[in-house]
Structures are given as C-alpha cells and as structure tokens.
Chain A
C-alpha cells in the first residue's frame, strides 16, 4: 500500500518534471514578456520623452484602431502585398507540383533545387534581389539593355506601384517553393488507382484533373494557403532590406511599421499596443487554420 502510493506520487510528478524545463523557459521568455507588453500597452512609456510613464488605459488601442492613419495604411499595404502573393504562389506552386509529378527521372534532385529559396533567409534573398534590381550594376537592367527591352537604367523602387510589384515578385520567388512542396506531398497521397480507373472509363487528362486531383487537393491547398497567410502577416525582413518601407511608406507592412514605432520613434507603449492588435489578427487566422485542419481530419478519418 505504502509502495503503491509512492509509485502513484512518483508517476504524477515525473511527467511534470520532464516537461518543466521548457515550460519554465516558455513562461519566462514568452508568456511573461507578453503580459509585460500588455501592461506596457496601457501606459504612455516613450523612451524619446523619458523613462517615466503613467497609466493611460485603452488610449493606445483607440489611437491604433481608429486614428493612426499610418498603421491603418500599413494594414492596407500588408493586404495589398498578401493577396497577389498568395494567389500566385498557389497557382505557380500547383503548376510546379503537377510538373514534378510527371517527372520520372531526377525528381528528388530537381525538387531539392527548386526548394532552395524557401530555405534561405528573407534578408539574404531580399539582398540578392535588391542587387538584381540595382539601377546601374543590377542584372535586370543590364540584361534588359543587352536584349534591347530597356533603354534607360530603370529605378525599380522609384514608384509605389512598381515597388509593390517588386516586393510581391521577391515574395513569390521566396515562398512558392514551400507551396510546391506542400502540394507535391498532397498529390503523392492521392491513390494512383483513381486515375487508372478514370482512364479505363475514358476520362481525359483534363477531366481527371478537374474531378480527381482538385477535389482531393482542396484541403491541402487550404492548409498551405493558411500557413502562408499567417507567415505573410509577419513580413518584415524582406521589406527591411528591399525597400525599407518606401517609397513614401507604400510598402510599410504592419510588422515593419511596429518596428519603426518601437525602435525609431521609441514609443514603447504604443508599439506594444500595435503588436497586440497584430497578435489579435494572427490569433483569428490561427483559429481559422485549426478549424480548417479539423475539417480536413474529419474528412480523412
């Protein structure tokens, strides 16, 4: 009896002991700072004014959501960058996955080569493209001149519209490979027998794509898009190096705007409030993601 009770106690204590190092670290380095940030967001802590601050309640949140044109503009900019990026990444990724599915020899090596941009840091990829877009020595202007397409040294970051196009292009370059990998995995999980029997029934390639591949790939696509959507709300490094938010704030994303408010204007409290507004948005997206995944599991099981 004594031993049994001891064993039970030990059993209850052991799982917690094993999990505790990371739980303690997460509590100290993630949960506590988040609580602290919420506390800060209710003050008016501004390092450019001084180290003293006082409680101001929800003032920062009201300013962020209703008055701050720059922040609201950055929400709009983020959406403007996200929408075309997601659509093109999905289409291009699907196209590449379908092409890769048809390759018989050398598929692993081609897949790995195509996947490389997704492994590279946004800053490094952004720098490579910044240099490609370079006005005088950039490859794009020089190639364009050599081929006779361009007749001037074009400034790709001179106007807001072309800057946004350039950012979207680099983002597509950076993350289409991810979409491709996800969709390729989805394609390979579709049983070959379905295609064989469709062929026996006289279906054309187009028909079997439309009524086998697409319906069965729908949820994989949804998951891929959700993951990219959530990650795109954090778009920062690419902007930092490609445009630094310019020209005239046209490519300032929510994350980049918050960074500037915190570390250029040093308005710590206000930046915390902004980050909480962003977290709220991302949380909604994450819950949507969980819901999609649950739906998918319900379908599969």
Chain B
C-alpha cells in the first residue's frame, strides 16, 4: 500500500494550477509573438497620434494697415493667428491650398481704414473653402463687422466681464489635452479587454476538454481552480497593460496610483472573463460572449474623447470609474484623494462581477 500521501497546501495547489496556466499560455509561441506584435502596434499608433491641439483659427489677411491692426488686437490670444498676404490672388491661393494653415481669408479693400473712419460703406470678401463649417463663416462675418465698428470708433454697447471672471475653471488655452493624451485610457483598456478574451478562451478550453474534472478529483477544490484562474488572468492582463503604459510613458509622476488603477482594471476584466469562459463552447462563441461585455465596457473609454461630462448612463457602466481615474491621473495630475471615489466605484463593480462570475463558473464546473 502507499505510504502516507503528503497533503498539498491550498496555496501550493493554487500555485501549481497558475504555473500550469502560464505554461499552457506561453506554450503557444505563435500566439505569444502575435500578442507582442499587438502591444508594439498599439504603442506605435499611440506615438503617431497628434500631440498638440489645434485651437487656433489662422486667418489670411490682405489690405493695407488691417493686418497690423488685427495682429495687435489678437496679441496674446490663442484663438487667432494672422498671416499677411500682399495680394488677393496670393490670399486666394493660400486659402484654397491651406498654405500656412490658413483656414479663411479676409480680403479688405485698399481704402478700408479710411472708409471706416469716414463711415463710408464698403465690401469685404471672406474667402472660404467648402469644408469650412458654418459657424466659422458666420464668425468671420461678425469679426469683419467688429473690425469695421472698431475702426469707425463705435465702442461695444455693453460692459464686459473682467479677465478673471471671464474664464471659469482652470484656463487650459494653449495647453489642451491632446488626442494622444485622451487615447491613453482607451489604449490601456483595449489591452485589458483583449486579455479578457484570452482568459475566457483558456477557461472555456478547460471546461470543454474536461481537464478541470481531472483537477477536482484530486485534493484540489473547485475554489482552488477558480482562485488560480482569477490570479492567472489578472496577472496576464495586468502585466500586458503595464508594459503598454510604460511604452506610452503613462505611468507618470504617480506610478503607484496608476499601477493600482490598472490592477483593479485587470481584476475587473478577469471577472467578466469568468462569465464569458463559462458560456463559451468554443473559441468563436467565447469571442462572441467576450464582445458582449467588451463593447459596453469600452464606451466610457470612447466617451472621454468628447468634451464635457459623460451622460448618466455612461457613468453607470462598470469601467467608467476606471477610465475616469486614468484620465484624471494622466491628464490632470489627480492624486489618491481625487482618484479614490473612482477606485471605490470600480472596486464595488468588480466585487459584483466576481460574485456573478464565480458562481456561474462554479456551477458550470460542478455540473460537468
């Protein structure tokens, strides 16, 4: 008969399953290489995105004296840049081709200043291409009239607010959040959710091939199996997300906070992977189920690309807190205090997702 069989500790069993999971994952070297290529690709896309925000309307101007008047009037404003042209033909060419970034052209007649001083009506041409939006055309229309008023000596019939009352909140003019910056949370989140699909596929394979049955007829429990999957899945997603964040220089000044955020994100997507893996019968159905979660989870990441506060329904999505925390930390320098409410929300959603995911997977395994 056998000698007394040593009993494995729970931690030892979980560690063995995790080790096996990583072996299985890394054994498919082709998949690993392609995952690496994917990470490189995302990083490349990130660095190719524009890092500046074009918030300046470049106006081409022709007409003696007007250009200098406009330049003086707009000094210190980030919204308007003035380019002077010697003739209307040169201005027309510049507007048509977009030379020097000119969006619109203002062709003032040679005697415009004198005409305005004498309040003699005259005509100014505003040159635009078809793609100039209506609001910009109207604005140029209004601007020309304001120039005329100014030169004619007509002051504004209202009192304006002082400069410090004029801008509400931190003035980010000239320092706007670029598209590249806005894409950080989206990039990190895409990596997380793609690994969600990988983990879901691994779980589905264990169920379909019944290898989980072999595990639970040993001293290993279903809970050990589930714990190992959670740890392995979270680590896989977390490590890849951190690598990407390093590649796109997004750990920033508050690296511990960013790492915490990404870890929470990895935990969350793992929970959804448990559900997708439980229901997936094969790889394609796993992708299908994963996408059911992936698409709504990605919505907050897209929402940050738009100005303003997200709608209430977007805030209700589990990943919203995560995205908000990433944006706050990377774009606005938020610290732990500002991030904490978001992290608490993410943690709460993660707990809910785990309760559901673990119970579904547990039932699935026990039913085999």
A and B interact: no
